[in-house]
Amino acid sequence: MDLDPDTDLTFTRTLPVPPALVWECWTSCEHIPHFFVPRPHRVIACEIDLRVGGRFNTTFHVDGNEMENRGVYLEVVPERRLVFTDTYTEGWKPAPDPFMTAILDLEAGPDGGTIYTATARHRSAEKARAHEQMGFYDGWGTVVDQLVDYAKGLK
């Protein structure tokens, strides 16, 4: 993938859980609330229509406030790649103030694990810097840690 250092934030980690299980967690409303937002914040609602153009909507409870996130899937390659964005909502309706497009790449890793790459693409360098300052690396890293802990319990 051709990354732009001004607008893209990315990291790669090797996870001790198989790609199929990581995929299952990322694509099921049953699993999303267990890892998708750093604790003590919570996911209180989730809607998934796992297809290109299908909805990926979540609602977070953060510091006493509800935050709705509406988006769609742009690419769905089972157990390999998941791309979603808040640039559009279901029905390809443009969002008034989009924030990012997320790309999750999964590869078979050592000992049955997963090489997990998360990328957040932004419309501008300013949006990317704002996301970085909000704690992209710590926040998304915490989400991965929570995903691993949760997925290990599903094995």
pLDDT tens, position by position, for the chain (155 residues)? 799 999 999 999 999 999 999 999 999 999 999 999 999 999 999 999 999 999 999 999 999 999 999 999 999 999 999 999 999 999 999 999 899 999 999 999 999 999 999 999 999 999 999 999 999 999 999 999 999 999 999 96
Res 1: pLDDT: 79
Please tell me the total number of residues recorded for the chain in this structure. 155
pTM of the complete model: 0.94
Strand, coil or helix: 36: coil
CATH number for domain 9-152, candidates 3.40.50.300, 3.30.420.40, 2.40.10.410, 3.30.530.20: 3.30.530.20
Pairing relationship of beta strands 65-69 and 42-48 according to DSSP bridges: unpaired
* Sign for the pseudo-dihedral over CA of 108, 111, 112, 116: negative
Given a contact cutoff of 8 angstroms between Cβ atoms, the answer to whether 146 and 130 are in contact is no
